[in-house]
């Protein structure tokens, strides 16, 4: 287990549910929970930031997690 990692956090008020972030994640650790993406496998996230870059309304950011 890593001591600290940056993980994606979704601003649900901005997210349109397009699924782009889920589609581009290279390790497939994102999924859709209804119309909102979530991170069912956070330990697999490599903090690459691709989901952040691809999100049209800029609804994802990476945040340090304890
Ligand atoms: S930061 Fe990278 S690995 Fe982590 S959820 Fe986003 S696209 Fe996937
Ligand atoms: S790419 Fe952005 S708007 Fe689209 S589902 Fe992901 S967080 Fe929501």
pLDDT in tens, 9-51: 999 999 999 999 999 999 999 999 999 999 999 999 999 999 9
* Strand ranges (E), the chain: 5-10, 31-33, 36-38, 60-65
Ramachandran bin of 37, using left for φ above 0, alpha for ψ from -120 to 50, beta for the remaining angles: beta
The neighbouring-strand residues paired with 63 are: 7
Q: Measuring from atom 6 of ligand 2, which residue has the nearest CA?
A: 21
Residue 7: phi, psi to the nearest 5? -125, 150
| pLDDT of res. 2 | 55
Q: Does domain 5-65 have CATH number 3.40.50.300?
A: no
CB 44, CB 5: distance < 8 Å = no
Q: Measuring from atom 4 of ligand 2, which residue has the nearest CA?
A: 18
């Amino acid at each position: 287990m890593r001591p600290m990692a940056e993980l994606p956090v979704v601003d649900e008020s901005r997210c349109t549910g397009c699924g782009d972030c889920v589609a581009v994640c290279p390790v497939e650790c994102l999924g859709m929970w209804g119309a909102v993406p979530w991170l069912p496998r956070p330990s697999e996230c490599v903090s690459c930031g691709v989901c952040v870059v691809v999100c049209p309304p800029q609804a994802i950011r990476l945040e340090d997690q304890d």
